[in-house]
Structure 1
Amino acid sequence: MTTTDSKADSPTVYEVDGDIARIRLNRPDRLNAVTGELYEGVQSGLERAEDDDARVVVLEGEGRAFCVGADMQNHDEQQRSAKERRDYAWTAQDACKAVQTHPAPVISKVHGYAIGGGAELAMSADFILMGADAELRFPEVSIGTYIGGGLTYTLAQRVGAARAKELVLSAATLTGTEAAEEGVVTRAVEESELDDAVDELAADLAGNAPIPMEFAKSQFGRVGSATRDDMLTAEAEALLACMGTEDWQEGVDAFADDREPTFVGE
């Protein structure tokens, strides 16, 4: 069953089809440039996905781009109060954190451009599939502003602190092919193949047991901040928790019966 929640002027569109939810940035006339309302729509969509027990979330953009970052036509900081600036900054941070900490895996489908705030949203996902000729850009320092979305964490986690610093301080632009070669993104494919690649990955993930996937996502998020002993303990505790689930027994039975398991998330 497919459920869609959309309005013509909504900055995001939420839809769920079976176990897969999609949050689509919906400002194609502005190449999905971010606003406070768009960030709030991303957070709302993630909350809906959790309520719908979606096992995978796909974050994508309508039109010619994933997201080109701040809408500079509506981004005159001189016209904002100090509170409005703070609210906007934290709305952006909260949206990216919501992607990073969502219990289900999130896939960013990047076509066209992911620039600035758009790159931060894309980089917040667990998997980033990108068109080979699409562009990922970190221009903030070149225009007098600053990165956000936990990029100093997510980018460094993917490519190491030294390379992450170079990419940010040089205001670098990477094609999808270049980004995949460096490990900045998960994979690059020809744009004509991007939809199929994302759908295939989403289906594969949705077929896995959701409880251990949630444990794994949470624990990988602690890399760099937890000790080895912390991680060993967390793994053992997660394993024991999984052993008490219906899905654990289903996995054992399916293996014995030489069939594909059907997981229920319990």
Structure 2
Amino acid sequence: MTDYQTIAFERSGAVARITLNRPDAANGMNAAMTRELADAAARCDDPATKVVVLTGSGRFFCAGGDLKEFASAPSRGRHLKGVADDLHRAISTFARMDAVVITAVNGAAAGAGFSLAVTGDLVLAAESASFTMAYTRVGLSPDGSATYHLPRLIGVARTKQLMLTNRTLTAAQALDWGLVAEVLPAEDLSARADELATAMVGTAAGSNGGVKALLLDSFSRGLEEQMELEGRLIAHRAETADGREGVDAFLAKRAPEFA
């Protein structure tokens, strides 16, 4: 699948850029978008891609699920399960790939848009961005990994507050709570994402993937098991070409040239 209808996909060297591209529908997630997002994520899961930048077109990052499409489906439950499965496949792929995922939240992120926004390894937000769960407002429950990521990012109490009261956080509040890494003027967001992507291209993809893998399941492991995995992975990294290059470059006081 190369011709997408609901997202824009482009590559520049080791950087892939995915743009949610239904601006007239607030970038709402319909079946086509989540299917295409899963396909694009799979295309980025390869050694040639070191960075993925994910953003939205227009004024919104993503307003959540497309309720109009959901309501018109012959079986709403079956339809939503399919949409959620594709979204979850995309998020799982982003989480487990070596590439660093930068989410550039350019506007309102609601429902599944909020869920997706905070899955980034590095989350940037425009000053105009806002974040709200909004699921219970329409009688639904969260998806898009929100019940996994939010408790780990901000704790259970604050997660419940967001999910049960549908409180809207400004970008500044999201930064204070630890949901985003940086907040910038809207006109600077894209340039900052590109700057960060360029910096990440110069790093070792395997090392970045190792960081992601170690952190992803760290809450489910005990101390000794986690340290054993750390020991095994750092030993493996030391034997790789990038590991050797990084150490040799440091000792020679020169910049490393990673693959």
TM-score (norm 1): 0.91
Distance 1:174 1:55 in 2: 31
**Equivalence for 1:17:** 12
Once the 2 structures are TM-superposed, how far is the Cα of residue 66 of structure 1 from its aligned partner? 1.1
1:202 and 2:200 are equivalent in the alignment: no
Deviations 1:27-62 (A, max 9, x none): 112121101211111111111112362111111112
Distance 1:114 1:133 in 2: 11
Confirm or deny: 8 A CA contact 2:101 2:120 kept in the other structure: yes
Q: What one-letter code is carried by the residue in structure 2 that aligns with 1:61?
A: G
1:236 and 2:231 are equivalent in the alignment: yes
Greater CA drift, 50-59 or 145-154: 50-59
Name the SS for the 2:61 alignment partner.
coil
Distance 1:253 1:132 in 2: 42
Equivalent in 218, 224, 230 of residue 223 of structure 1:
218
Once the 2 structures are TM-superposed, how far is the Cα of residue 94 of structure 1 from its aligned partner? 2.3
Distance 1:170 1:23 in 2: 31
Compute the RMSD of aligned alpha carbons: 1.7
Q: What one-letter code is carried by the residue in structure 1 that aligns with 2:107?
A: G
Name the SS for the 2:62 alignment partner.
coil
Equivalent in 178, 185, 202 of residue 183 of structure 1:
178
Distance 1:24 1:165 in 2: 30
1:76 and 2:79 are equivalent in the alignment: no
**Equivalence for 2:42:** 47
Once the 2 structures are TM-superposed, how far is the Cα of residue 70 of structure 1 from its aligned partner? 1.2
Once the 2 structures are TM-superposed, how far is the Cα of residue 103 of structure 1 from its aligned partner? 2.6
1:153 and 2:164 are equivalent in the alignment: no
**Equivalence for 1:121:** 116
Q: How many residues align?
A: 258
CA distance 1:81–1:183, change in 2 (3 Å): closer
1:61 and 2:56 are equivalent in the alignment: yes
Once the 2 structures are TM-superposed, how far is the Cα of residue 72 of structure 1 from its aligned partner? 2.2
CA distance 1:241–1:52, change in 2 (3 Å): closer
Distance 1:86 1:253 in 2: 50
1:245 and 2:259 are equivalent in the alignment: no
Confirm or deny: 8 A CA contact 2:102 2:123 kept in the other structure: yes
Once the 2 structures are TM-superposed, how far is the Cα of residue 15 of structure 1 from its aligned partner? 1.1
CA distance 1:51–1:224, change in 2 (3 Å): closer
Once the 2 structures are TM-superposed, how far is the Cα of residue 173 of structure 1 from its aligned partner? 0.8
Deviations 1:126-148 (A, max 9, x none): 12100122111111112211111
> Taking every aligned residue pair, what percent have the same amino acid on both sides?
30
Equivalent in 121, 138, 142 of residue 143 of structure 1:
138
Confirm or deny: 8 A CA contact 1:212 1:238 kept in the other structure: no
Equivalent in 147, 156, 167 of residue 172 of structure 1:
167
Name the SS for the 1:79 alignment partner.
coil
Q: Relative contact order (C-alpha < 8 Å, sep 6+): which is higher?
A: 2
Q: What one-letter code is carried by the residue in structure 2 that aligns with 1:176?
A: A
Equivalent in 74, 92, 98 of residue 93 of structure 2:
98
Q: What one-letter code is carried by the residue in structure 2 that aligns with 1:168?
A: M
Confirm or deny: 8 A CA contact 1:97 1:124 kept in the other structure: no
Confirm or deny: 8 A CA contact 2:39 2:90 kept in the other structure: no
Q: What one-letter code is carried by the residue in structure 1 that aligns with 2:251?
A: A
CA distance 1:244–1:174, change in 2 (3 Å): same
Distance 2:240 2:185 in 1: 40
CA distance 1:224–1:149, change in 2 (3 Å): same
